[in-house]
Structure 1
């Protein structure tokens, strides 16, 4: 999993959990899961700990899910994880796959945060940057 990250923001850290890799920036986080991963709530402990360490409970951030691989995750567990972060300001979902983008539109029914769905990672970065900048106004 070597995703090119088209951004001018400074990379704070990157972490590889085997089943997923995460890139942390000042106000956004990019996650990419390994092909075929079956992610449980227990698997999420490592990434949750890292997110809390980097952003705490007050630094606003947007999560960018780069869905270039096929993986599975319990959707109810997913909502529980999202609810753990009051400073999560929105999500961007990136996929070239039409089916994965359709699933992303269903996620909007469960997650009460702004969600953008994109074909390209750079579009998601632009959307995330605009949304974070709106918070500063």
Structure 2
């Protein structure tokens, strides 16, 4: 389910569209939707990190990130080492996978990203996980926003 197809779209603080995907900035989290067939590498990630740093400040350690994997794409997992080398990490890193062939990529990412990556079957589950960790009431549906 795309963010733009849910009431979440009405709560986006900033939306950034690139040729490689769309990134939605909310109060407590970022949701990414990487485009079909993209190789999401360090150069692309750095563009988003720069925007996130400008928007949220220099510390990403309090940020929550949801990778909404609506498309098939690949990631250079060793590029996570560059991200971590900058002293960056996410408070919560969630991946929403809709297809079983997305699971192997997630497993590989877990080897390179040193913190936990939690996976979910729906965007609502991922948002609720973050809401609970932020001491907010979980939603039955996005219509409750």
Alpha-carbon separation, structure 1, partners of 2:15 and 2:70: 18
Gap regions ≥5 residues in structure 2: 137-145
CA contact (8 A) 2:80 2:113 kept: no
Structure 1 counterpart of 2:68, from 61, 66, 73: 66
**Residue 41 (structure 1) aligned with residue 42 (structure 2):** yes
Q: Give the structure 1 partner of residue 129 of structure 2.
A: 127
Secondary structure of the structure 2 residue equivalent to 1:57: coil
Q: Contact 2:14–2:25 (CA<8 Å) still a contact in 1?
A: yes
SS of the equivalent of 1:133 reads coil
Deviations 1:46-76 (Å, cap 9, x if unpaired)?
A: 2111111122134621110011111122111
1:42 and 1:87, CA in 2 relative to 1: closer, same or farther beyond 3 A?
closer
1:93 and 1:124 in contact (8 A); partners too: yes
Instruction: Name the counterpart of 1:108.
Output: 110
Per the normalisation by structure 2, the TM-score is 0.77
The residue that corresponds to 2:139 in the other structure is none
When you count helix as a share of all residues, which structure comes out higher? 2
Q: Does the 8 Å contact 1:64/1:124 carry over to 2?
A: yes
Correspondence 1:1-137 to 2 at 5 A: 3-5=4-6, 7=8, 10-58=11-59, 60-82=62-84, 84=86, 86=88, 88-133=90-135
Q: Is the 8 A contact 2:94 2:119 kept in 1?
A: yes
CA shift at 1:133, angstroms? 3.1
Query: Do the aligned partners of 1:41 and 1:77 also contact (CA within 8 Å) in 2?
Result: yes
Q: How far off its partner does 1:87 sit? A: 5.9
SS at match of 2:31: strand
Distance 1:120 1:89 in 2: 20
| Structure 1 unaligned blocks of 5 or more | none
Q: Secondary structure at the match of 2:5?
A: coil
TM-score by length of 1: 0.81
The alpha-carbon deviation at position 34 of structure 1 amounts to 0.5
